Amino acid sequence: MPLTSVVRSLSQSIGRIDDVVRNGQLLGQLPTGITGQGLAGFTDLTLLRNAVFALVLASALGALIAYHPRTRRTVDRIVDADAQRALVMYAAIGATTGIMVMKYGVVVGFVIFGIGGLIRFRTELRSTMMTGRLIFVTLVGLACGLDLPHFAVLATAFAFALIAVQDASVTYEVTVKGLTTATIETAARAYAELLAREDCRVLGERKRFSKGSVSLVFRAPHRVTRDRLDQVLTTAIPAELRGALDWEAD
- Which tens digit of pLDDT belongs to each residue from 190-231? 999 999 999 999 888 888 888 889 999 998 998 888 889 989
Tell me: pLDDT of 238 over 70.
yes
Write the pLDDT tens digit of every residue in 148-192: 888 899 999 999 999 888 888 888 889 999 998 888 999 999 999
- What whole-number distance in Å separates Cα of residue 237 and Cα of residue 229? 12
Q: What percent of the chain has pLDDT over 90?
A: 19
Sign of the four-CA dihedral 237, 241, 244, 248: negative
Of 3-7, 75-79, 119-123, 189-193, which has the strongest mean pLDDT? 189-193
Of 229, 147, 223, 152, the C-alpha closest to 194 is 229
- What whole-number distance in Å separates Cα of residue 199 and Cα of residue 195? 7
Q: Judge contact between 34 and 101, C-beta under 8 A.
A: no
Q: What percent of the chain has pLDDT over 70?
A: 74
CATH of domain 169-249: 3.30.2130.10
**Using alpha carbons only, what angle is made at residue 201 by residues 55 and 75, rounded to the nearest 5 degrees?**
70
User: What pLDDT is attached to residue 169?
Assistant: 85
User: What pLDDT is attached to residue 159?
Assistant: 92
Q: Judge contact between 136 and 159, C-beta under 8 A.
A: yes
For residue 192, what are the CA distances in angstroms to 8, 135, 176, 198, 208?
A: 62, 36, 11, 10, 16
User: What pLDDT is attached to residue 20?
Assistant: 44
pTM: 0.68
Of 169, 228, 164, the C-alpha closest to 194 is 228
- What whole-number distance in Å separates Cα of residue 29 and Cα of residue 20? 13
pLDDT bin (cut points 50, 70, 90) of residue 66 is: confident
Arithmetic mean of pLDDT, 122-138:
74
| Residue 151 host element (H or E) | helix 149-166
Higher pLDDT residue, 204 or 119? 204
Q: Judge contact between 250 and 171, C-beta under 8 A.
A: yes
Q: Judge contact between 108 and 100, C-beta under 8 A.
A: yes
> Domain extents for the chain?
35-166, 169-249
